[in-house]
Amino acid sequence: MLRQVSSLMVGLACGAAVATVVVLLLTPDSGENLRKRTRGWYHQLLADSTQAAETRREELRAELQRKIAAHTQN
């Protein structure tokens, strides 16, 4: 199940990246505006990814603590 979810997330991320590149290449905008938008998009993506990783890390840490507690009670 985890492998399927991971594969789905990777597929969605790759699809989003490809779509973003295509849209950026086809957008009639000046080079400076395009660079600003791309930079902003990249920084937002990085911030969102960092937050998602931190959230998942905390979930896994909590799950590990529950399993350790359950194991020590047995």
Full-model pTM: 0.54
Token couple for 3: 């492998």
For residue 23, the tally of other CB atoms under 10 A from its CB is 9
The domain segmentation of the chain, as residue ranges, is 2-73
pLDDT for residue 40:
92
Yes or no: say if 31 and 38 are a contact pair by the CB < 8 Å rule: no
pLDDT, tens only, 16-43: 888 888 887 777 777 788 788 889 988 9
